[in-house]
Homo-oligomer: A and B are copies of this chain.
Amino acid sequence: MPQSADTLPMEQVQAVANRPLEGVTVIDLGQIYNGPYATFLMAMAGARVIKVEPVGGEKMRRRGTVGGAMLPFAMLNSNKEFITLNLKSAEGVELLKKMVQKADILLENFAPGAMDRLGLGYDVLKEVNPGLVYASGTGYGSSGPNRDMLAMDLTIQAMSGVMASTGFPDRPPVKAGPALCDFFGGIHLYGAVMTALYNKAVTGKGMHVEVSMLESVYPSLSSTLGLYYGSGENPPRTGNRHGGMAEAPYNVYPCSDGHVALLCVSERHWESLLSAMHREDLIGVDRFSDLQHRVDNIDELDALIGGWTSGFTKAALVEVLTARRIPCAPVREIDEVVNDPHMHARGTLKRLEHPELGEVVLPAGPMFFGDSARAELIPSKAVGADNRHVFGDWLGLDEEELAALSRGGAF
């Protein structure tokens, strides 16, 4: 069991647990979702993550009044230390270089070229610390004809084929609800950094790693790409049917109080479903006799199943299907997801009191590392909350130096 971290300072919290990134220091220049998610996962794996914000704080902190943007900030910035730095001042740049000397990883997701313009590109920082793993998250990458296109989750969903493959064929393309491009970018960047950190442990050398959102999404379109190659043309959107039209039944079916997702990936599933429907008479009939025939007659198939499911509540249908080991799940609403007893039991979601937001549910990250104690969740803090601790205790600046730098606007 993890020990309580409520009463311990950050250093001791990290020392009590045997987490895999213990002793690793990360300078986090991430913003919005992409970069901060990567460094959040590092913090939860035991790294010391120092989040660097501009003097007024990251812009996302200020979106709190519209929608609920403070929650995403809190979700992605647990267990970090919070400092401010004016990277447009010479003193701010110098302070960052001092930090780089003592760090293992620097991560940023500014637009390509922005770090170079600040005088903080990899070519500069590798001279300061040759062992540094320097990570850049971008929309399109630091090279190539579209390098400078402005990239946000919405525009990458448009460019990547996510929208073309999402939604119903009789409606316009629609984005996926999750900010999957931001998060695919962030988690691939996490993976690239860990790969480089392993390599550094073996060779002693750092490197510059890079991941673009666009390229990190492409593999997830496998099913759609398969259908494209299979048919030789741009596939129509398939709604809730399989993106490659390679499974049937595979759909979301109506119930009296919502919807249930249901699929058969073997003949045994299909025969079990017919049995649950009391339609054993259809076992073996030509038009449904194998996967190819079911795909060919999919409209009739889905109407047949949907007519049957609509007589059930979601819960009743899931019970009937589960008893026969047919793959299914209710389509859950957001409040059901947030309060999911399963994720709370596993400790990947935690309910806690956040100093700015009150009681909220926050994720603890999906990675389990053997018998390591899971990190206690430490809520995100106010802008600059750790300035004195980081610049004073860690970098060793004295009171006079701190006061002068603060007066000069470096932080």
Contacts A199-B20, A342-B144 hold; do A158 and B330 have CB atoms under 8 A apart? yes
B residues less than 8 Å from A234 (CB atoms)? 333-335
At the interface, is chain A mostly helix, strand, loop or mixed? mixed
Cross-chain contact B177 with A328 (CB below 8 angstroms): no
Shortest C-beta distance, A16 to chain B (Å), equals 17
Q: What per-residue 1/0 map shows which CB atoms of A340-370 lie under 8 Å from chain B? A: 0111011011000000010010010011111
| A284 adjacent to chain B (CB < 8 Å) | no
| A80 adjacent to chain B (CB < 8 Å) | no
In the complex, A370 Cα to B76 Cα: how many Å?
27
Checking B69, B144, B218, B335 against A345 with a beta-carbon cut-off of 8 angstroms, the contacting residue is B144
- In the complex, which residue of chain B has the Cβ closest to the Cβ of A166? B177
Cross-chain contact B227 with A367 (CB below 8 angstroms): no
| A156 adjacent to chain B (CB < 8 Å) | yes
| A276 adjacent to chain B (CB < 8 Å) | no
Cross-chain contact A179 with B243 (CB below 8 angstroms): yes
Cross-chain contact A155 with B219 (CB below 8 angstroms): no
In the complex, A191 Cα to B303 Cα: how many Å?
42
Cross-chain contact A369 with B196 (CB below 8 angstroms): yes
Checking B67, B192, B336 against A230 with a beta-carbon cut-off of 8 angstroms, the contacting residue is B67
| A338 adjacent to chain B (CB < 8 Å) | yes
Could you list 15 further interchain pairs (A-B, Cβ under 8 angstroms) beyond the known A159-B337, A164-B332? A70-B226, A75-B225, A154-B242, A154-B329, A155-B261, A161-B332, A166-B175, A178-B180, A180-B180, A180-B184, A191-B191, A208-B370, A221-B334, A224-B334, A228-B338
> Would you list the 10 A-B pairs with minimal beta carbon distance, nearest first?
A165-B177, A68-B230, A67-B246, A194-B194, A207-B370, A176-B176, A68-B226, A215-B366, A67-B244, A178-B220
